[in-house]
Amino acid sequence: MRIQAKIFGLIFIMFITALFLAKNTFAGTGFGVSNKFTLNTGGTQPTTVPGTSPTSTPEATPAIINVTVRIKPKVINLKSKGKFTAFVEFPIEYNVSDVDGDTIECEGAKAIKTRTFPKKNSFKSAFKVKDLKDVSPGNSVPFHVTGSLVTGEDFEGSATVKVINPGKK
In this prediction, residues 131-156 reach a mean pLDDT of 95
Kindly list the structural domains of the chain, giving each domain's residue range(s) and its CATH number in brackets, ordered by start: 2-58 (no CATH), 65-164 (2.60.40.10)
Best CA proximity match to 163, nearest among 71, 93, 37, 29: 71
Please tell me the predicted confidence (pLDDT) of residue 39: 45
Please tell me the predicted confidence (pLDDT) of residue 85: 97
Whether the pLDDT of residue 103 is over 60: the answer is yes
Report the percentage of the chain scoring pLDDT > 90.
60
Please, are residues 165 and 124 in contact by the beta-carbon 8 Å criterion? no
DSSP class per residue in 1-37: -HHHHHHHHHHHHHHHHHHHHHHHHSTTTTSS---SE
Whether the pLDDT of residue 12 is over 70: the answer is no
Please, are residues 83 and 124 in contact by the beta-carbon 8 Å criterion? no
pLDDT tens digits along 118-143: 999 999 999 999 999 999 999 999 99
**Model's pTM, two decimal places?**
0.62
Q: How confident is the model at residue 100 (pLDDT cuts 50, 70, 90)?
A: very high
Please tell me the predicted confidence (pLDDT) of residue 19: 47
Best CA proximity match to 70, nearest among 45, 43, 106, 39: 106
Please, are residues 137 and 95 in contact by the beta-carbon 8 Å criterion? no
* Mean pLDDT of the chain, nearest integer: 79
In this prediction, residues 143-149 reach a mean pLDDT of 97
pLDDT tens digits along 25-77: 444 444 444 444 444 555 555 555 555 555 555 555 568 999 999 999 999 99
